[in-house]
């Protein structure tokens, strides 16, 4: 009861001020999360991707998209704020033809590609700061570029 007694002598204005301060500070104090670790990133080193079909093109397109976002791509890990590690692959899923009788043979249509791109941002100590996996449907005209654009879009959202 002693705790409640100290509040009875307060004015309504004082109690509202205390409640407002608590409401303003509680979400950040209770979340346990420090500030966004992605803030302030300017220089990135993009590691070579594993040698899977289409992985080199995915890496090149990812670098192009990161440059469009005004990141500086550096040639070595020593000069980077973060390291971008990735893994991706593209493959021919089938063939699309305007002629329904032609079947799904390569000579009778254009290829339909599928694939994925997984990217991980690591700090210079190797701790993961952010990661994302993107897959696309068969409507993609340029799968490597579209996968890279999606990663860049989600990275931009994470940086906000």
Angle at 52 between CA 132 and CA 91, to 5 degrees: 85
| All residues at 6 or more sequence positions from 56 whose CB lies less than 8 Å from its CB, including other chains | 49
Contact 119, 132 (CB under 8 A): yes
Cβ atoms < 10 Å from Cβ of 158? 15
| All residues at 6 or more sequence positions from 21 whose CB lies less than 8 Å from its CB, including other chains | none
Q: How confident is the model at residue 28 (pLDDT cuts 50, 70, 90)?
A: very low
Give me the domains of the chain, ranges plus CATH numbers: 43-159 (3.30.160.150)
pLDDT beyond 90 at 15: no
23 phi and psi angles, rounded to 5 deg? -65, -35
Say what percent of the chain tops pLDDT 90.
41
Q: How confident is the model at residue 47 (pLDDT cuts 50, 70, 90)?
A: very high
pLDDT at residue 138, rounded to an integer: 63
pLDDT beyond 80 at 61: yes
- Between CA 44 and CA 73 the distance in angstroms is 5
Contact 46, 67 (CB under 8 A): no
Mean pLDDT of 61-79: 92
Mean pLDDT of 69-85: 92
**pLDDT single digits (tens) 85-143:** 999 999 888 877 777 776 656 666 788 888 999 999 999 899 999 999 999 876 778 89
| All residues at 6 or more sequence positions from 142 whose CB lies less than 8 Å from its CB, including other chains | none
């Amino acid at each position: 009861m002693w705790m409640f007694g100290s509040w009875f002598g307060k004015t309504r204005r004082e109690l509202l001020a205390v409640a407002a301060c608590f409401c303003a500070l509680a979400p950040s104090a209770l979340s346990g999360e420090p500030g966004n670790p992605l803030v302030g990133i300017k220089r990135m080193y993009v590691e070579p991707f594993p040698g899977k079909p289409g992985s080199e093109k995915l890496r090149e397109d990812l670098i192009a998209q990161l440059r469009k976002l005004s990141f500086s791509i550096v040639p070595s890990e020593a000069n980077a704020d973060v390291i971008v590690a990735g893994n991706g692959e593209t493959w021919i899923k089938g063939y699309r033809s305007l002629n329904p009788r032609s079947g799904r043979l390569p000579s009778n249509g254009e290829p339909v590609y599928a694939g994925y791109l997984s990217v991980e941002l690591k700090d210079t100590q190797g701790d993961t700061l952010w990661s994302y996996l993107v897959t696309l449907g068969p409507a993609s005209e340029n799968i490597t570029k579209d996968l890279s654009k999606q990663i860049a879009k989600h990275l931009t959202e994470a940086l906000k």
